[in-house]
Amino acid sequence: MMRRTATLLLRQNGSGVGGDIPQALADVLVCPLSKKPLRYCEASGSLISDAVGVSFPIVDGIPCLVPKDGKLMDQDQKESEDCTRILPTTNEK
């Protein structure tokens, strides 16, 4: 069963606060390389693609999802506790 970015990002308190991803984006955004869901990392304010181990920045509220601007994460970063994984809700596809 495929998890959508939205299910990985859905928060109970809504969106658009303090660097959160608006629902409209969470609904459709995927990793431009793998086309798989993205995860939002609160600590760095970036979007993480676990599928390829790449992180994409968000600058001035604009997600920068150009493939060549993605940063390869090293093993430490991937396992970092600083990036809170947001739990999926029951609306999984």
Partner 1 sequence: MAFLHSHATSFGYKQVPEEQKSKLVGNVFSSVASSYDLMNDLMSVGLHRLWKDRLISKLNPFPGMKHLDVAGGTGDVAFRVLERINSVSHRAMQGTLPYTEEDTQIYVCDINPNMLNVGKKRASERGYKEDNFLSWIQGDAEALSFEDGSMDGYTIAFGIRNVTHIEKALSEAYRVLKRGGRFLCLELSHVDVPLFKEIYDVYSFSVIPAMGELVAGDRQSYQYLVESVRRFPNQEKFAQMIQEAGFARVEYENLVGGVVAIHSGLKL
d(CA 19, CA 85): 15
Alpha-carbon gap, residue 61 to 39, rounded angstroms: 16
Question: Which one of residues 14, 19, 45, 64 is an interface residue with partner 1 (CB under 8 A)?
Answer: 64
Is 56 strand, coil or helix? strand
State yes or no: residue 8 binds partner 1 (CB under 8 A).
no
Among 1, 12, 13, 66, binds partner 1 (CB under 8 A): 66
Can residue 72 be called a binding residue for partner 1 (CB under 8 A)? no
Q: How far apart are CA 93 and CA 91, in angstroms?
A: 6
- Binding flag, residue 92, partner 1 (CB under 8 A): no
Nearer to partner 1, 29 or 73 (CB): 29
